[in-house]
Structure 1
Amino acid sequence: MIQIPRGTQDILPQDSYKWQIIEERLKNIAANYNYHELRTPVFEATELFVRGVGGSTDIVNKEMYTFEDKGGRSLTLRPEGTAPVVRSYIENKMQHDVNQPVKVFYKEPMFRYERKQKGRYRQFVQFGIEAIGVEDPMIDVEVLSMLMHIYQSFGLKNLKLYINSIGDHESRREYNDALVRHFKPRIDEFCSDCQSRIDTNPMRILDCKKDRDHELIKTAPVIHDFLNDESKAYFRTVKEKLTDIGLDYEVDYNLVRGLDYYTHTAFELMSDAEGFGAITTLCGGGRYNGLLELLDGPHETGIGFALSIERLLMALDAEGIELEQPEGIKLYICTMDDNSFDKAGTLLHQLRTEGISADMDYKRRKLKAQMKDADRKRAEHVIVLGEDEINSGEVELKNMQDGESSTINIDELKNYLED
């Protein structure tokens, strides 16, 4: 039997409503902040992610689904959303848009070949936002405010927002030099990945899961000590404005976000709900100054975040929050014989095309079984259609909530059900 590929999942009809609720909520919140949807291709040129995400990252080195097309071009299934958004911004010359910053959101499947863990899949759905074209602490605060608004709108309580500053390129360069001096003499004690990162992106060593308990990790220099005056002032303003709007946060000087394009503000949102799991990160993001130029674009800056809908669902489960199921169908038609079965098909067509949700039993079961089926489908009303009803043109419309019935002309069903 052919089975689903490892690391993927079927979202069954009894669960898909949760995704629809979440996706609709995300879209509405994005609209409140004046972010508009941008859709990019499922696959892009491999070079986009090598240059944009960074050749030293696990995403590029280990996790990308890369293939060669019939024209010999190297293409990669999208593993993250920021690089494609930036590519689109550059290609479509959005820097000339009169509305700045350009504020977009995306909600798309991503693909990473990684070990399956609870809440992590090789195909997963990521919602993200990007604000490109303005470098100002207030935009950083807007992004963080929107992030918290999303999670709190679902009633989640066990949330902790951690922020830090990675500084500008000058600060980051000095910090990387300090990390090399710190780790280089004993780098042979670290995993092979860290041994290669020491020369490419030493900040990634701090993110290593294998060596996170090594004493040198715990005693490593912190980025805060290497921030220049401009970077310190920027971060100080971000913190002040977060306090002004009443948004709680904690500064974590060890939070560095290892992707090559991050500068200044970096952040992660964690869940400390009991039973959530060992990996507590819900969402992460930060500012990227220089990414557009790295991809041959204009001198513009951006900031954004990305969240996994799968992990949002996990957080809801951990806190016992249930999403309300959508309403059932408006009408269920029970049939008594072949003639009423055919008549019901015609009536269903008329009602559905006029915007009324309706259904019937296509297996021609007994009336009792049909009533049970109507209950499973959470029908608001039920009618029984037989020879007498067809001849008289009237039916008994039963309200499944209170059990009351009304005699209704068949031609008036639409008007009654719309009220």
Structure 2
Amino acid sequence: MENKSSFRFLWIGQSLANCGDVFYIVALITILYQATGSALYLAAVPFLMTLSRFTSGAVAPLLLDRFSLKGLLLYAQLGKTLALLSLVIITWSDLSGMVIGLTFLFVTCVAFLDGWASPARNALIPQLIPPNQLVKANSFLAIIDQSIRLGAWPIGGMLVAFLDAKFLLWFTVVLFVLATIFMTFIDKHVKVEPQKPTTSKWHSLKEGWTVIWSTPFLRIFSMVECIEAIAGVVWIAAILFVYIEEVLHASEQWWGYINASFFAGLMLGGLISLWLSDRINQHLLRFIIVGAGVVAVLTLGFGLITNPWFALLLSFFIGFIMQIKDISQQTLIQTRTQQEVLPKVYAANETILAGAFGFSSLLFGYVTDLCGVRITFCLAASLLFVTTMLLFRNRHIIHSSTV
């Protein structure tokens, strides 16, 4: 791979930052619950994070015009470190009403800055990796990301139990500092310069949206990802808990089992993609369309069955197929989109996905209360079938379109 050392610094730095993101949420939720005992305060944390990522994705193009991708990634991580350090300092004392308000302010800041880092990282990868090895690189990063998602939550819980939540926050600050240092080591000679300033801020803000709308394959993929984000809400804890109780008639422990099975499938999918990277790279669109169809069928089956062990098996295969499909889709977008506009395309997509997920969380919660959780899963499966048909009917346009 080209720029191996820069890619290594990128994934190590991001891995440390991702671990820190999980640890600080575990610690913060523990501190808030101990101080207030309120579920409302706990629910406010993911809500504020989603809202912040939506807002930061919308304004990210202004920063992409001023800073290189490396610079934006570095400054975002530095800002997260300073915000978290401030959060640690104020939560060290007892949480009064004012301190709780400041806590939510710093949570908002960290999530806001994270919304800049995500499109910068995704757009930086094809500048560090040659096109024929992007599947392998994306598979490797997917494995690392899922390993962190699978392992960081239980590890964070154990650290809270043994070290205390406030000490875990300090440990997270150390991880963020190390992540910032690794970002500085990305080779300065890598082509990561910012774009030339556009004629106006409004032009810069809408540029990613304009590229998506005017490019057939990007427009199709954005619609697909938006619909998938809406359908993916069925996997949040609020709905999955209802499913386990009303459909599976199982204990709450099965929520953990199903999540573990799902993430195990994601990890195996990443490993298979890494192993078969050359073959997948030759048939990206085929893997995307077939994967979308299979996930739709499995999601429908998941919502209809009543056996917990079958649910466990299906959740594994959903994660497995979804991972291969998403890696293929990510690679196709990276290889078919010009590097000059790719960061703003990712920023626009971040905004779309955050908005879709936030809105559909409320919508699906309402549908679950009104019609039952089976209907919710059937609705999600129907939406996934729509994405499959959208991809299949436009396969020739996707195959021939580029930007």
- Decide: shared fold, TM above 0.5: no
TM-score after normalising by structure 2: 0.20
TM-score after normalising by structure 1: 0.20
Hey, which of these two has a bigger chunk of helix by percent?
A: 2
Hey, which of these two has a bigger chunk of strand by percent?
A: 1
